[in-house]
Amino acid sequence: DFLFFWGAVFLVTTTLVAFLKKENQELIPAKEETKGITDTYRLLFSIIKMPAVLTFCLLILTSKVGFSAADAVTGLKLVEEGVPKEHLALLAVPMVPLQIILPLIISKYTAGPQPLNTFYKAMPYRLLLGLEFAFLVWWAPKVKHEGGFPLYYYAVVVLSYALHQITLYSMYVAIMAFNAKVSDPLIGGTYMTLLNTVSNLGGNWPSTVALWLVDPLTVKECQGAQGHHTCATAAAAEV
């Protein structure tokens, strides 16, 4: 019912926009240079070969390795420790207004000549919050009781998530501002797409690797098993 309702709202609003919103014909923007597929890829290749672009791509491809595990695994580990999934989902609700307001506030600091300064400043705090998330997972079984988890534990989780959102959006808005600033206006769309794609990839591959490494890096101990079992693999743990 929830999905059906919002699906209907989405369809109605987008249809109204399509029919009622008119383009402003008076202000015609400078036309972006259009190229064929072959020319576009040649252009992209020439952009990638630039030393500054190569250095920047290397930076954004590796910059999120340090907090990939905290970002990707914390929620799963909290569920594993007994925190109900529906409670974690509810904790995401207070984050929505924060996610709307943060870009408006952060954009004031990224609008200057050096938007990446905000990115660099937020990074150590985001790394420290990774330790905070590890503490939350370690603390969960200590405070768990028959009725679930105390209210103060959820308050600490919400506060930790809110601080994490501040660092996350500081880095995100800064990198988007930098991409927009350095993109050549003549090929702005192509340039922006390239840099944003590399930026997205830089966030996705470390999370995938972190999730893949969870099992082999988790120390397990078999209790009550006959003989010697390491529980190192999923099959051994099942036995």
The domain of 133 spans: 40-211
- Answer whether residue 88 is part of any domain: yes
What's the predicted TM-score (pTM) here? 0.76
Which has more confidence, 208 or 224?
208
- Answer whether residue 171 is part of any domain: yes
Q: Kindly report, residue by residue over 54-109, the tens digit of the pLDDT.
A: 999 999 999 999 999 999 999 999 998 989 999 888 988 888 898 899 988 998 88
* E strands present in the chain: none
- Answer whether residue 238 is part of any domain: no
Say which residues have a Cβ less than 8 Å from residue 40's Cβ, sequence separation at least 6. 190
> What are the beta bridge partners of residue 148?
145
Q: How far apart are CA 192 and CA 197, in angstroms?
A: 8
Q: Kindly report, residue by residue over 159-189, the tens digit of the pLDDT.
A: 999 999 999 999 999 998 998 888 877 776 7
- Answer whether residue 21 is part of any domain: no
Contact criterion met (CB below 8 Å) for 63 and 204: no
- Answer whether residue 13 is part of any domain: no
- Answer whether residue 133 is part of any domain: yes
pLDDT at 218: 82
Q: Kindly report, residue by residue over 127-154, the tens digit of the pLDDT.
A: 999 999 999 999 999 998 888 889 999 9
- Answer whether residue 143 is part of any domain: yes
- Answer whether residue 189 is part of any domain: yes
The domain tally of the chain equals: 1
